[in-house]
């Protein structure tokens, strides 16, 4: 199954890289929804960040719904409460 292959590849990648987890920017679109779910399925820690930078309020609400969904389904997800608007450099420097 392709899903299992991707999750296994992510596990191999993270263990070989020496990193401790994933950081996923959640936009409210399908790509970040799939990415955050696949990363969560690895069991490694996932920091899910909503990035409402010059973004339509509707899309921002979708990103928050995706974060809520993935947190409800996986225990290895956390999402920081960041001030809006947030710049990516702030997020990376606060990890």
- Per-residue pLDDT tens digits of the chain, which is 95 residues long: 999 999 999 999 999 999 999 999 988 888 999 999 999 999 999 999 887 666 667 667 888 899 999 999 999 999 987 655 544 554 444 44
Q: For residues 75 and 95, what is the distance between their CA atoms, to the nearest angstrom?
A: 19
pTM above 0.85, yes or no: no
Phi, psi of 24 (to 5 degrees): -125, 125
What is the predicted pLDDT for the residue at 64? 87
Q: What letter would DSSP give residue 25? A: E
What is the predicted pLDDT for the residue at 68? 93
What is the predicted pLDDT for the residue at 48? 93
DSSP 26-73: E-SSHHHHHHHHHHHHT-S-EEEEE--SS--HHHHHHHHHHHHHHHHH
């Amino acid at each position: 199954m392709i899903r299992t292959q991707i999750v296994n590849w992510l596990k191999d990648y993270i263990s070989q890289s020496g990193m401790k987890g994933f950081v996923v920017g959640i936009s409210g679109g399908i790509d970040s929804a799939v990415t955050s779910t696949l990363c969560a399925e690895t069991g490694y820690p996932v920091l899910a960040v909503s990035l409402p930078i010059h973004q339509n309020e509707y899309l921002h609400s979708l990103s928050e719904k995706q974060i809520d969904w993935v947190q409800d389904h996986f225990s290895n997800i956390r999402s920081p409460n960041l001030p809006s608007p947030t710049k990516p450099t702030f997020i990376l420097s606060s990890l």
